[in-house]
Amino acid sequence: MIFMLFILLTQSALSLAAKALGWCQWAGSRWPTLWAMVLCLSGAQGLHAQSAHTPPGPAAVASGAAASDTAASTVVLNNRKIITFRADLLGDTPAERAALAQLALTQALQTKGPGKVARAMLDEAARIELDGQTLFFVLPGDLGGPRPASLLDAASQDVVRRLQTAVDETRERTDPTRWAVGIAYALAATLFAWLGLKLLWRGKRRLTQRMQDMLQQTSEARLTGSWLVDYTRYARASLARMVAALSWLAALVLLELWATFVLHQFAYTRPWGERSTAWLLDLLGRFATSAAVAIPGLLTAMLIFFIARTCVRVGHHLLQRVETGEISLTWLTPDTAAPTRRLLAAAIWLFALAMAYPYLPGSDSEAFKGVSVLAGLMLSLGSSSVIGQALSGLSLMYSRSLREGEYVKVGDVEGTVAGMGMFTTRIHTGLGEEVSLPNSVVFAQPIRNYSRMVKDGRFMIHTSVTIGYATPWRQVHAMLMEGARRSPDVAQSPAPYVVQTALSDFYVEYRLCAQSSRHAPAQRAAVVSQLLSNVQDVFNENGVQIMSPHYMADPPEPQVVPPGPWASPPGAQPVQPPDLERPNDTAAR
């Protein structure tokens, strides 16, 4: 409180110093007008004694009846607006009249008079005086707009009332007794406000605990075994929030009352206290009026959203049945039912928002429009990549290139598709990791699907070896087939097969192709690891080295298989496909 009083005193001193400096600067440029004003003020007493004071002449009244083209100027005393000049008088603009009135008011306050404000009604003007000294004139043109001169009497009375209050407060600011009383009342109000807040928060805790205990006892006594028991905790949480909101509201009201009372104790801050109360009441009144006016629009918007929600739920149930296979539609497959459901819901809600927008409170205000434009601009600038990801995800869903549970290879990532979202695709590699690929990356790369051509949830298994030309190819085929036979997770029907994919310079490339069995794990990496282990064992048992030979020079003898038992065990004579035709000897020759 002492710090606040120090701030108030400092502000008062700075304000007076600034005003004095401003008057000195202004007086240097307006000394002829000031001299005329001083002469007028010095002769005002004599004119009053003779009852022959000369009011503004007809020309002055005519010039003051119409508002000047210049801006209006206000006379302020002790943070109170006394009068606003809008008309010219004797060639002086409203700003010059306000400056002269402020100077006369300052000089009148420096006297030791009783501080009595009075007025004198003239023909078409009102003279305002302080302790017999003329301060300024009030003209019909100062009332603002085309108003009749008959209102001058009431307007001048309001000016006298405001000026008297400001003069009394100015005198009060220099009264030490009044300062001491104000400080005492402010300290007492602060103490009572602190105690009130403390009691308020203590009562809030006790009330919340008591109401929750009553709700808990009621639910245990009457709702035992009912499904409503699950919702009692939500009821308790809602009750606690409601009590907290009411407590905060009461605390704000108490603080507003405390601030208003404290500001009223000091002359310098009393206008602020009066304006704060009026501002709060005006704000609450405008809020209540706006809420009442917005009720019809809110009801219309709620009806639109209710219809939209009903349509979304109907579409959701229909497309969910298509997704589960209960309903078959020629234009929609179960794989595309889920993204279609999300797109339909988004389209319905966007349409509902566009329909309900004009009925929302404040939608026609410039602030609401500005925020809408700003939000649209931010979305358009920052969501280009997001829109691209979403469109790529929709393209993948509707092209059905991927499905959850399928084993695929996208670029260098190989694994089982764990989930397909609007923006990313998740793949489990089987090595204890999950890879999230942006849909734009997946859509831009070739996809190898190892599950699409196989039924019953199986997947294809591939492995390749490179063996030198010194090993018979039939024996390599047989060893690869033996490794597949030893692997229980490799299906024997349909039978695995081996293809030679290339005859390179130094070795032959063999590829074993097979399908997983029904009881194989979902992770392809585990099945491939088991198959490779068995292939390695078979090659070791037959003394065949799994290595890709490279030569530094030609060998002394050609690296070919000598004539002999090429089909010796475990090799066997391959069976030729029945649809292959041998070229006749004549054509060969």
Choose among 126, 120, 117, 118: nearest CA to 149: 126
Structure tokens at 323: 């997704």
Asked if residue 7 belongs to a domain, the reply is no
Q: How many residues comprise the chain?
A: 589
Q: How many domains does the chain have?
A: 5
89 vs 59: CA distance, rounded Å: 9
CB of 372 closer than 8 Å to CB of 422: no
Half-sphere exposure of 216 (CA within 13 A, CB side): 9
Q: Are residues 350 and 309 in the same domain?
A: yes
Q: What string of pLDDT tens digits covers the 589 residues of the chain?
A: 333 444 444 444 444 444 444 444 444 444 333 333 433 333 333 323 323 334 454 444 444 444 444 578 888 888 788 888 988 888 888 888 889 988 888 888 888 778 888 888 887 888 888 888 888 888 888 887 666 666 887 888 888 888 888 888 887 777 788 788 888 988 998 999 899 899 988 888 888 888 877 777 765 555 555 555 556 667 777 888 888 888 888 888 888 888 888 888 887 787 777 777 677 777 778 888 888 888 888 899 999 999 999 999 998 888 888 877 777 777 677 767 777 888 888 889 989 988 888 888 777 777 777 777 877 777 776 666 666 767 777 777 777 777 787 888 888 888 888 887 777 888 888 777 888 888 788 877 888 888 877 777 788 888 899 998 888 999 999 999 999 999 988 888 888 999 999 999 889 999 999 988 877 777 778 888 899 999 999 999 888 888 787 766 666 776 667 776 666 666 555 555 555 444 444 433 3
Helix (H, G, I), strand (E, B) or coil at 513: strand
Asked which of 358, 386, 414 is the last residue of a domain, the reply is: 386
Q: How many CB atoms lie within 10 A of CB 130?
A: 22
Which residues are paired to 134 by β-bridges? 129
Asked if residue 581 belongs to a domain, the reply is no
CB of 276 closer than 8 Å to CB of 335: no
Q: Are residues 47 and 103 in the same domain?
A: yes
Asked which of 249, 268, 287 is the last residue of a domain, the reply is: 268
Place of tokens 């002469």: 39
Helix (H, G, I), strand (E, B) or coil at 416: strand
Q: Residue 462 carries which side chain, given as an amino acid letter?
A: H
Q: Are residues 241 and 320 in the same domain?
A: no
Tell me what pLDDT residue 364 has.
Answer: 75
Q: Are residues 329 and 406 in the same domain?
A: no
Q: Is the peptide bond before 570 cis (omega within 30 degrees of 0)?
A: yes
CATH code, domain with 432: 2.30.30.60
> Could you report how far apart the first and last alpha carbons of the chain are, in Å?
120
Q: Are residues 191 and 66 in the same domain?
A: no
- 524-541 and 473-486 helices cross at what angle (nearest 10)? 130
Give Cα separations from 560 to 503, 532, 555, 564, 566 (angstroms).
14, 28, 11, 12, 12
Q: Are residues 243 and 257 in the same domain?
A: yes
Please, what is the Cα angle at 582 between 578 and 586, to 5 degrees? Answer: 160
Asked if residue 72 belongs to a domain, the reply is yes
Place of tokens 């280009």: 384
Which residues are paired to 413 by β-bridges? 410
Asked if residue 222 belongs to a domain, the reply is yes
Asked if residue 563 belongs to a domain, the reply is no
Please, what is the Cα angle at 396 between 395 and 402, to 5 degrees? Answer: 165
Q: Is the peptide bond before 494 cis (omega within 30 degrees of 0)?
A: yes
Q: Residue 587 carries which side chain, given as an amino acid letter?
A: A
Residue 509's φ and ψ, nearest 5 degrees, are -100, 120
DSSP-assigned states of every residue in 9-77? HHHHHHHHHHHHHHHHHHHHH-HHHHHHHHHHHHTHHHHHHHT------HHHHHHHHSBPSSPPEEEEE
Q: Are residues 405 and 432 in the same domain?
A: yes
DSSP 456: T
Q: Are residues 66 and 152 in the same domain?
A: yes
Asked if residue 582 belongs to a domain, the reply is no
Choose among 461, 487, 465: nearest CA to 476: 465
Q: Are residues 162 and 75 in the same domain?
A: yes
Asked if residue 262 belongs to a domain, the reply is yes
174 vs 267: CA distance, rounded Å: 10
Asked if residue 335 belongs to a domain, the reply is yes
Q: Are residues 27 and 166 in the same domain?
A: yes
Please name the residues in contact with 456: beta carbons below 8 A apart, sequence gap of 6 or more: 518
- pTM for the full predicted model: 0.41
Give Cα separations from 173 to 110, 166, 182 (angstroms).
14, 11, 11
Tell me what pLDDT residue 21 has.
Answer: 40
Choose among 129, 108, 109, 106: nearest CA to 117: 129
Residue 522's domain comprises 460-541
Q: How many CB atoms lie within 10 A of CB 351?
A: 13
Please, what is the Cα angle at 359 between 353 and 364, to 5 degrees? Answer: 100
DSSP-assigned states of every residue in 239-273? HHHHHHHHHHHHHHHHHHHHHHHHHHTSTTTHHHH
Q: Are residues 141 and 231 in the same domain?
A: no
Structure tokens at 483: 């490794």
Q: Residue 311 carries which side chain, given as an amino acid letter?
A: C
Q: How many CB atoms lie within 10 A of CB 221?
A: 8
Q: Are residues 79 and 150 in the same domain?
A: yes
Burial of residue 301 (number of CB atoms within 10 Å: 0-12, 13-18, 19+)? buried
Place of tokens 């979305």: 379
